[in-house]
Amino acid sequence: QQDVPALSDVAAFPVGVAVGPQDLGGRPADLLLRHFDQVTAENAMKPVVIQPVEGEFDFGPMDEVVDVAAEHGRTVHGHTLVWHRSTPDWFFEAPDGSPLTDSPQDQALLLERLRAHTQTVRDHLAERYGDANPVRSWDVVNEPLDPEEADGLRRSRWYEVLGPTYVAQAFQVAREVLGPDVVLYVNDYDTDAPDRRRALVRLLLDLQAQGAPVDAVGHQMHASLRTDVDRVATTLDAVAGLGLRQAVTELDVAVSASDERLAAAPTDRLAQQGDQVRALVQVFAARDLEFVGVWGLYDTRSWLRHWPEDRPFEAPLLFDDDLQAKPAFWGFVEAAQGA
């Protein structure tokens, strides 16, 4: 791969990647260390993994990921603290096993659990890495938006117990526990869709009005060949206009539509995917982003291989099943170089 430039060399912005323990040895690790400045744990830093049972912490997978970053001078984007899909059920259960309600006592209990979880993670990182702790940012609240709701907020268990100010409260806890230097993100998907953009801007204005300590917006960017790049640009400009920092946190570009199952490897679409990645990265490179992260090292490792059902020919990442650079990789490189 001598003729393949390193993404971290060609891009003016940090380039990140989501990884798991299975990516940290052999050829995947070589690919990771050659191209990427930053890592996100795809699953290993989710509360359901770290604290599946109250008070029983498992830092094994997280340590593997963060150790590699620390050893090689890479940063880590923490993912995540509050996400309805990765909060273990016990967070929402009273000591007698009944579901938490929106009573003041239950609200205090839920917030206390968030605080205790965040403190334990912080203390573990401080003990293990000291001043060299590579975790510089966190997705504090992931996927709070639902444009179908009048207030634009998803009716998750967090919302049901704490009410519409739960996002602001979560940021308050995160700031108090993690300190002033950690960059605190709200992260969501399809932020380019006009209804979701409106819900996002509304939430951000609300958070600012409440004085919530939110620093940055993460745009997941689970894109497709149909994603309208102009809409992506409009959303990035809207967020910049609010004075917030922002990043692309989970980039991938699906080659099949959501209602379609490819019967064979999508060779004809890989060139289109390259064009789409080039167009997207041109938009990113022209703006001030904290980082651009891709959601997986190589196609075999993508979540889209298994969601919403098994899709053996989905190929949404920059490197193929054999870890070779795809047209998508070259589209990224050309756009990052300003070609």
Task: Give the residue numbers annotated as catalytic, written as ranges.
Answer: 143, 250
In the complex, least distance from residue 100 CB atom to ligand G3I, rounded to whole angstroms: 22
In the complex, least distance from residue 250 CB atom to ligand G3I, rounded to whole angstroms: 5
For the chain, how big is the Rg over CA atoms in Å?
20
Residue type, 58: D
By CB under 6 A, residue 188 contacts ligand G3I: no
In the complex, least distance from residue 144 CB atom to ligand G3I, rounded to whole angstroms: 12
Q: Which residues of 120-156 are buried (b: 16+ CB within 10 A; e: fewer)?
A: bbbebbeeebeeebbbebbbbbbbbbbbeeeebbbeb
By CB under 6 A, residue 303 contacts ligand G3I: yes
Q: Report which of 10, 12, 51, 58 is spatially closest to residue 34, judged by C-alpha positions.
A: 10
Count residues near ligand G3I (CB under 6 A).
Answer: 8
Alpha-carbon span 69 to 321, nearest angstrom: 24
Q: Before 80, cis peptide (omega within 30)?
A: yes
By CB under 6 A, residue 314 contacts ligand G3I: no
Q: Are 286 and 336 in contact (CB under 8 A)?
A: no
Q: Is 267 exposed, middle or buried (0-12, 13-18, 19+ CB in 10 A)?
A: exposed
By CB under 6 A, residue 300 contacts ligand G3I: no
String marking each residue 40-69 x if it binds ligand G3I according to CB under 6 A: --xx--------------------------
Place of tokens 């990884």: 19
Nearer to ligand G3I by Cβ, of 86 and 210: the residue is 86
In the complex, least distance from residue 163 CB atom to ligand G3I, rounded to whole angstroms: 24
SS3 309: coil
Alpha-carbon span 194 to 199, nearest angstrom: 9
What distance separates the 2 farthest-apart alpha carbons in the chain?
A: 62
In the complex, least distance from residue 307 CB atom to ligand G3I, rounded to whole angstroms: 7
Nearer to ligand G3I by Cβ, of 137 and 142: the residue is 142
By CB under 6 A, residue 137 contacts ligand G3I: no
By CB under 6 A, residue 86 contacts ligand G3I: yes
Nearer to ligand G3I by Cβ, of 142 and 256: the residue is 142
- Interface with ligand G3I in residues 207-226 (CB under 6 A): 220
Nearer to ligand G3I by Cβ, of 86 and 119: the residue is 86
Nearer to ligand G3I by Cβ, of 42 and 290: the residue is 42
Nearer to ligand G3I by Cβ, of 86 and 208: the residue is 86
Measured CA distances, 119 to 127, 212, 255 (Å)? 12, 19, 41
Alpha-carbon span 22 to 6, nearest angstrom: 22
By CB under 6 A, residue 23 contacts ligand G3I: no
Alpha-carbon span 180 to 174, nearest angstrom: 10
In the complex, least distance from residue 43 CB atom to ligand G3I, rounded to whole angstroms: 5
- Tell which one of 72, 85, 155, 261 touches ligand G3I (CB under 6 A): 85
Contact positions vs ligand G3I (CB under 6 A): 42-43, 85-86, 142, 220, 250, 303
